Structure 1
Amino acid sequence: MALAPWNSVLAPPRSLVASPQQLPFFSLSLPVSSSTCFLLAAKRTDVAMGTSFSFIASAFSSSSSSSSTNLSTAGFDETAVDALGNVQVLTSSTGKPAFLKDLWDQEEGIAVVALLRHFGCICCWELASELKELIPRFDAAGVKLIAIGIGSPDNARILAQRLPFPLDYLYADPDRKAYDVLGLYHGLGRTFFNPASTKVFSRFSSIRKAAANYTISATPDDKSSVLQQGGMLVFKGKELLYARKDEGTGDHAPLEEVLNICCKVPVA
């Protein structure tokens, strides 16, 4: 299998802990039952929130901008992509298992495989919301969107119903098999203390939109799942065109980057 570079961003850890006094217009809270979802609770008017949010994003810009994009396959096992096809995920509508390799044409089909965080994470809801907006473009280009989240099909349906998100594009991976095969990041440091996580401060509008009907009840029973980061892959058949690991919570692949790959590849 031919591999395109794995997009890796490596930076030294830095604490992101802030007190309500340091963030006067927002509270950055970590729900006890989930322990990993970023919830931005507005405390002022929209105008004031926007002003404060710009200030906060600016304050963190030194940490997020210091992480440059390095294209590399270092640390990525080529056999992992082959193994991914044999991973079974569960359809969100019926809970029936399906091999990933059966979800798109393995000869010439173009597929975007988005590995979200757990279904109870607001950053998962945000990315799902943004992907939903791109479905017409994916469909028009003949691209298959496969969005996979961590949790049960019941957890997936909560997100699908409340966000909303179309069930036909959504899959559940309760045991994180796809994540483990690909070696996606997991752990406390990546979840809370990686500088890449500060990117959520620059996306207040999309976070707030996703949080409109958000509920923490979509969190999986396995609480270790809340420490799992996601990633993004683009395939043409079995060929990997693009792959990126999320360095921290909310460090999603730039979707324009994904579109430039998947929607400009000729479809046979």
Structure 2
Amino acid sequence: MALRLTPAPPQTLQTTALRPLSLLFKNSHAPAPPPNSTNPKFGLTILTNTRTPRRLLARASSTSEFVPNIGDILGDISIFKASGDPVFFKHLWDQKQGVAVVALLRHFGCPCCWELASALKEAKPSFDTAGVKLVAVGVGTPNKARILADRVGLLISFTCKLPFPADCLYADPDRKAYDVLGLYYGLGRTFFNPASVKVFSRFESLQKAVKNYTIEATPDDRSSVLQQGGMFVFKGKQLLHAWKDEGTGDHASLDDILGVCCKVPVE
């Protein structure tokens, strides 16, 4: 019997698809199987007992899949500062004209995310010069965020042993922002996605990043380790650029992200 793939019907993500039940019921994250096709012409709808159906896209680095008011939706999400104080996304940058890069790490115990945190710390002066607010969010509690901040600061260089800037680091233990932005989750995405092979091209930087690594930064909720990250550029509430990690270590190019920020017109 021949196997025939039927093109997925046109579908747009509605607000309800971006606000799953996990925003209402704590710890309701059920692992979702990975897509079985990398052809963007085909889609796969996942049904679980806790999430609303979600259309998985082969490569989501554009803003077209997001509802126009995604900035408002994200703005109402409450996360935590590294100090432990709660804060809304809408209070992290100027919601009218401010430009912000929101970098969502996988979790604070992920070695690849220690590498990304190191790169973000080194790139922060460039973002500051461009007038861009850097917001780094990780999965875990604030105390896990502080572990990453303190230890990543020690491995940048022997001459600069400053911690990762705490005013840029936030914790999202319930992964609410990750759900709103539709970031990928699951066993296949974490361990078996072809996009993860790019990690091997960064072996030296990854090796450097894990010199001071500790597994203590891993979230107590072990299901959180299956969460993937992403990177987003906002001007006020408007989403200008979106990158969703296809697999572990599939990070956006910071040079590309900075390039997007520098092209934002000044009003």
Distance across 2 between alignment mates of 1:75 and 1:69: 11
Aligned length: 204
Residues 110 and 132 of structure 1: CA distance in aligned 2, closer, same or farther (over 3 Å): same
Structure 2, unmatched stretches of 5+, are 1-34, 39-57, 154-163
Match of 2:108 in 1: 119
The answer (yes or no) to whether the contact 1:110–1:143 under 8 Å persists in 2 is: yes
Q: Which moved more, 1:80-89 or 1:130-139?
A: 80-89
The answer (yes or no) to whether the contact 1:234–1:258 under 8 Å persists in 2 is: yes
The answer (yes or no) to whether the contact 2:62–2:242 under 8 Å persists in 1 is: no
Q: Normalising by structure 2, what TM-score?
A: 0.72
Structure 1 position 250, deviation (Å):
0.4
Determine which of 74, 77, 89 is the counterpart of 1:87: 77
The alignment status of 1:244 with 2:243, answered yes or no, reads: yes
Q: Which runs of 4+ in 1 moved over 6 A?
A: none
**Where do residues 65-76 of structure 1 align in structure 2 (5 Å cutoff)?**
72-73=62-63, 75-76=65-66
Match of 2:85 in 1: 96
Identity %: 67
Q: Normalising by structure 1, what TM-score?
A: 0.72
Residues 183 and 102 of structure 1: CA distance in aligned 2, closer, same or farther (over 3 Å): same
**Where do residues 2-151 of structure 1 align in structure 2 (5 Å cutoff)?**
12=37, 72-73=62-63, 75-92=65-82, 94-151=83-140
Distance across 2 between alignment mates of 1:70 and 1:243: 7
Greater relative contact order structure (CA < 8 Å, 6+ sep): 1
The answer (yes or no) to whether the contact 1:138–1:263 under 8 Å persists in 2 is: no
The answer (yes or no) to whether the contact 2:61–2:243 under 8 Å persists in 1 is: no
CA-atom RMSD in angstroms: 1.9
Q: What is the DSSP-based 3-state SS (H/G/I as helix, E as strand, rest coil) of the residue aligned with 2:79? A: strand
Residues 179-238 of structure 1: per-residue CA shift (max 9 Å, x gap): 011110000010011100111011112101211211111000111100000010001111
The alignment status of 1:199 with 2:189, answered yes or no, reads: no
Structure 1 position 138, deviation (Å):
0.7
Residues 194 and 103 of structure 1: CA distance in aligned 2, closer, same or farther (over 3 Å): same
